[in-house]
Amino acid sequence: MSSASATLQGAVRSFCDDSDERNIDRVGHRRWILYPHLGKIGFGYAASAAGSFVTLQVFDKSNTEKTDADYILWPNKGYFPGSFFETTQAWSVSLNPDSYNLGRCKPTVKLTCLNNDKKWSFSSGDKDRNGKYFNIEKSNFGLPYCIIFKPDGITSFLFEKRFKVEIDGLVNKTGQSQKIEYEVEFFTLL
Protein backbone atom coordinates (compact mmCIF):
# COMPACT_ATOMS: atom_id res chain seq x y z
CA MET A 1 0.00 0.00 0.00
CA SER A 2 1.40 3.38 -0.87
CA SER A 3 0.11 6.89 -0.76
CA ALA A 4 1.14 10.29 0.41
CA SER A 5 -0.68 9.75 3.70
CA ALA A 6 -0.46 5.99 4.41
CA THR A 7 -0.36 5.08 8.10
CA LEU A 8 -0.09 1.73 9.86
CA GLN A 9 -3.55 2.18 11.38
CA GLY A 10 -5.05 3.05 8.01
CA ALA A 11 -3.31 0.08 6.40
CA VAL A 12 -4.76 -2.40 8.90
CA ARG A 13 -8.24 -0.98 8.29
CA SER A 14 -7.69 -1.19 4.54
CA PHE A 15 -6.43 -4.78 4.72
CA CYS A 16 -9.48 -5.77 6.80
CA ASP A 17 -11.89 -3.89 4.50
CA ASP A 18 -10.56 -5.61 1.36
CA SER A 19 -13.83 -4.81 -0.49
CA ASP A 20 -12.39 -2.87 -3.41
CA GLU A 21 -13.01 -4.15 -6.95
CA ARG A 22 -9.68 -6.03 -7.07
CA ASN A 23 -10.09 -7.87 -3.75
CA ILE A 24 -13.79 -8.33 -3.00
CA ASP A 25 -13.97 -11.72 -4.73
CA ARG A 26 -11.56 -13.24 -2.17
CA VAL A 27 -11.00 -10.74 0.71
CA GLY A 28 -7.58 -12.39 0.97
CA HIS A 29 -5.79 -9.82 3.16
CA ARG A 30 -8.63 -9.99 5.69
CA ARG A 31 -8.68 -13.80 5.66
CA TRP A 32 -4.93 -13.98 6.30
CA ILE A 33 -5.16 -11.53 9.19
CA LEU A 34 -8.02 -13.57 10.72
CA TYR A 35 -6.40 -16.96 9.97
CA PRO A 36 -6.57 -18.99 13.21
CA HIS A 37 -3.19 -20.70 12.62
CA LEU A 38 -1.40 -17.38 12.22
CA GLY A 39 1.16 -17.13 15.00
CA LYS A 40 3.24 -14.19 13.81
CA ILE A 41 2.28 -11.13 11.84
CA GLY A 42 4.38 -8.22 10.67
CA PHE A 43 3.69 -4.68 9.52
CA GLY A 44 6.29 -2.41 7.99
CA TYR A 45 6.22 1.33 7.38
CA ALA A 46 8.54 3.57 5.40
CA ALA A 47 8.22 7.20 4.42
CA SER A 48 10.11 9.12 1.76
CA ALA A 49 9.63 12.13 -0.47
CA ALA A 50 7.73 9.85 -2.88
CA GLY A 51 5.14 8.91 -0.24
CA SER A 52 4.48 6.48 2.56
CA PHE A 53 4.59 2.72 2.12
CA VAL A 54 3.07 -0.03 4.26
CA THR A 55 3.56 -3.77 3.97
CA LEU A 56 1.90 -6.77 5.60
CA GLN A 57 3.57 -10.14 6.34
CA VAL A 58 1.09 -12.93 7.15
CA PHE A 59 2.35 -16.13 5.53
CA ASP A 60 2.82 -17.95 8.81
CA LYS A 61 1.28 -21.09 10.29
CA SER A 62 3.21 -21.28 13.53
CA ASN A 63 0.11 -21.35 15.76
CA THR A 64 -0.31 -25.12 16.05
CA GLU A 65 -3.19 -25.08 18.55
CA LYS A 66 -6.31 -26.80 17.26
CA THR A 67 -8.93 -24.34 16.08
CA ASP A 68 -12.20 -25.00 17.87
CA ALA A 69 -14.17 -22.32 16.02
CA ASP A 70 -16.46 -23.68 13.30
CA TYR A 71 -16.18 -20.41 11.37
CA ILE A 72 -14.48 -17.01 11.36
CA LEU A 73 -16.68 -13.93 10.86
CA TRP A 74 -16.14 -10.35 9.68
CA PRO A 75 -17.86 -8.48 11.17
CA ASN A 76 -18.04 -10.75 14.21
CA LYS A 77 -21.30 -11.65 15.91
CA GLY A 78 -22.52 -9.48 18.73
CA TYR A 79 -21.39 -5.89 19.09
CA PHE A 80 -19.02 -4.51 16.45
CA PRO A 81 -17.63 -0.95 16.19
CA GLY A 82 -19.21 0.75 13.18
CA SER A 83 -16.10 2.87 12.68
CA PHE A 84 -14.22 -0.31 11.65
CA PHE A 85 -16.81 -1.41 9.09
CA GLU A 86 -18.11 0.75 6.26
CA THR A 87 -21.56 0.29 4.71
CA THR A 88 -19.84 -0.65 1.43
CA GLN A 89 -17.75 -3.45 2.93
CA ALA A 90 -18.28 -7.11 2.16
CA TRP A 91 -19.18 -9.46 4.98
CA SER A 92 -17.31 -12.76 5.18
CA VAL A 93 -17.71 -16.16 6.81
CA SER A 94 -14.73 -18.51 6.54
CA LEU A 95 -15.61 -22.14 7.28
CA ASN A 96 -13.29 -24.39 9.28
CA PRO A 97 -12.52 -27.45 7.08
CA ASP A 98 -12.33 -29.58 10.26
CA SER A 99 -16.02 -28.81 10.93
CA TYR A 100 -17.63 -28.87 7.47
CA ASN A 101 -17.74 -31.18 4.46
CA LEU A 102 -16.77 -28.35 2.12
CA GLY A 103 -17.36 -30.39 -1.05
CA ARG A 104 -21.03 -30.83 -0.17
CA CYS A 105 -21.75 -27.28 1.07
CA LYS A 106 -23.94 -25.14 -1.17
CA PRO A 107 -24.53 -22.07 0.97
CA THR A 108 -27.33 -19.56 0.62
CA VAL A 109 -27.25 -16.34 2.61
CA LYS A 110 -30.04 -14.13 3.95
CA LEU A 111 -29.34 -10.84 5.68
CA THR A 112 -32.04 -8.92 7.55
CA CYS A 113 -31.82 -5.45 9.05
CA LEU A 114 -33.67 -5.85 12.34
CA ASN A 115 -34.26 -2.09 12.63
CA ASN A 116 -36.44 -1.81 9.51
CA ASP A 117 -36.96 -5.44 8.35
CA LYS A 118 -35.13 -4.84 5.05
CA LYS A 119 -33.97 -8.19 3.64
CA TRP A 120 -31.34 -9.38 1.19
CA SER A 121 -31.10 -12.87 -0.28
CA PHE A 122 -27.81 -13.58 -2.00
CA SER A 123 -27.24 -15.86 -4.98
CA SER A 124 -24.50 -16.63 -7.48
CA GLY A 125 -25.94 -13.99 -9.83
CA ASP A 126 -25.11 -11.15 -7.43
CA LYS A 127 -21.81 -9.98 -8.95
CA ASP A 128 -22.00 -6.17 -8.77
CA ARG A 129 -18.67 -5.39 -7.12
CA ASN A 130 -19.96 -1.89 -6.32
CA GLY A 131 -23.42 -3.03 -5.19
CA LYS A 132 -25.05 -6.30 -4.13
CA TYR A 133 -22.41 -9.02 -4.28
CA PHE A 134 -22.01 -12.74 -3.48
CA ASN A 135 -19.16 -15.19 -3.95
CA ILE A 136 -17.87 -18.48 -2.59
CA GLU A 137 -14.07 -18.38 -2.60
CA LYS A 138 -12.18 -21.67 -2.22
CA SER A 139 -8.48 -20.86 -2.47
CA ASN A 140 -6.00 -20.82 0.39
CA PHE A 141 -6.13 -17.27 1.66
CA GLY A 142 -6.14 -18.40 5.28
CA LEU A 143 -9.06 -20.84 5.65
CA PRO A 144 -9.80 -22.27 2.19
CA TYR A 145 -13.58 -21.75 2.02
CA CYS A 146 -15.06 -18.27 2.38
CA ILE A 147 -18.63 -17.05 1.89
CA ILE A 148 -18.50 -13.39 0.82
CA PHE A 149 -21.60 -11.19 0.58
CA LYS A 150 -22.26 -7.47 0.39
CA PRO A 151 -25.67 -5.83 0.66
CA ASP A 152 -26.58 -2.73 -1.31
CA GLY A 153 -28.57 0.27 -0.16
CA ILE A 154 -27.26 0.70 3.40
CA THR A 155 -26.44 4.36 3.96
CA SER A 156 -25.49 4.44 7.64
CA PHE A 157 -25.08 2.16 10.63
CA LEU A 158 -26.58 4.84 12.89
CA PHE A 159 -30.15 3.77 12.10
CA GLU A 160 -29.58 0.46 10.31
CA LYS A 161 -27.38 -1.09 12.95
CA ARG A 162 -28.84 -4.49 13.96
CA PHE A 163 -28.53 -7.32 11.44
CA LYS A 164 -29.35 -11.02 11.40
CA VAL A 165 -27.31 -13.37 9.17
CA GLU A 166 -28.69 -16.78 8.17
CA ILE A 167 -26.59 -19.22 6.15
CA ASP A 168 -28.23 -22.46 4.99
CA GLY A 169 -26.98 -25.23 2.73
CA LEU A 170 -24.03 -26.26 4.88
CA VAL A 171 -23.07 -29.87 5.64
CA ASN A 172 -20.99 -30.86 8.66
CA LYS A 173 -18.35 -33.60 8.76
CA THR A 174 -20.92 -36.24 9.79
CA GLY A 175 -23.09 -35.43 6.74
CA GLN A 176 -25.81 -33.55 8.60
CA SER A 177 -27.31 -30.28 7.40
CA GLN A 178 -25.96 -27.32 9.28
CA LYS A 179 -27.10 -23.70 9.59
CA ILE A 180 -25.18 -20.67 10.80
CA GLU A 181 -27.29 -17.92 12.34
CA TYR A 182 -26.04 -14.89 14.23
CA GLU A 183 -26.71 -11.21 14.86
CA VAL A 184 -24.44 -8.18 14.56
CA GLU A 185 -25.07 -4.82 16.17
CA PHE A 186 -22.92 -1.91 15.09
CA PHE A 187 -22.16 0.71 17.72
CA THR A 188 -20.45 4.08 17.73
CA LEU A 189 -17.15 4.58 19.56
CA LEU A 190 -17.03 7.85 21.42
Residues 39-98: tens digit of each pLDDT: 999 988 888 887 888 888 988 888 888 778 999 999 999 999 998 999 999 999 999 999
Work out the pLDDT band at 14, boundaries 50, 70, 90. Answer: confident
Q: Does domain 2-187 have CATH number 2.60.40.1220?
A: yes
Domain spans in the chain, listed from the N-terminal domain onward: 2-187
Cβ pair 104, 171 in contact under 8 A: yes
Q: How far is CA 130 from CA 17, 21, 77, 90, 146, in A?
A: 14, 7, 24, 10, 19
Confidence (pLDDT) at 3: 61
Mean of per-residue pLDDT scores for the chain = 92
Q: How far is CA 20 from CA 5, 10, 91, 101, in A?
A: 19, 15, 13, 30
